[in-house]
C-alpha cells in the first residue's frame, strides 16, 4: 500500500529538497569535532550546534534535509534522517 505525503520544499544549491527531516546523531559515536556544525552553518541552514560535547539539532525547523552533515562526519555518527510532522516541528533536542 502506498501513501502520498504533502511536503514543503526548499530550493537550495540548484536542487529541490523536502523539508520535514532532521539528522539522527549518535551521541556514542559523536566526538564533538564540529565538522557537521561548521558545514551546516557555512551552507546556510544552521541546524546543528554542540551541546554537552556532542552535535545536536538545535534548530530542527531550519533543516532542508540536504544530508551534508552526514557526509561531513568522520565517525558516521549521523546515519539517518528522521521524519517529523511539519505542522508540529520538534523542539530542539
Binding site for ligand SF4 (CB under 6 A): 25, 30-36, 55, 72-73, 75, 77-78
The nearest distance, CB 8 to ligand SF4, in angstroms, is 25
16 vs 79 by CB, closer to ligand SF4: 79
Distance CA 89, CA 87 (A): 6
- Burial class, 47, CB count within 10 angstroms (exposed 0-12 / middle 13-18 / buried 19+): buried
Q: How far is the CB of 25 from ligand SF4 (least distance, A)?
A: 5
In this structure, are residues 60 and 89 in contact, taking their beta carbons and an 8 Å threshold?
Answer: yes
Q: How far is the CB of 20 from ligand SF4 (least distance, A)?
A: 21
The DSSP code for 52 is T
Amino acid at each position: 500500500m502506498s501513501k502520498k505525503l504533502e511536503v514543503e520544499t526548499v530550493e537550495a544549491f540548484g536542487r529541490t529538497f523536502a523539508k520535514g527531516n532532521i539528522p539522527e546523531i549518535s551521541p556514542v559515536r559523536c566526538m564533538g569535532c564540529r565538522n557537521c556544525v561548521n558545514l551546516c552553518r557555512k551552507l546556510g541552514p544552521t541546524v546543528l550546534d554542540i551541546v554537552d560535547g556532542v552535535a545536536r539539532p538545535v534548530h530542527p525547523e531550519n533543516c532542508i534535509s540536504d544530508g551534508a552533515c552526514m557526509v561531513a562526519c568522520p565517525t558516521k555518527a549521523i546515519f539517518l534522517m528522521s521524519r517529523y510532522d511539519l505542522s508540529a516541528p520538534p523542539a530542539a533536542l
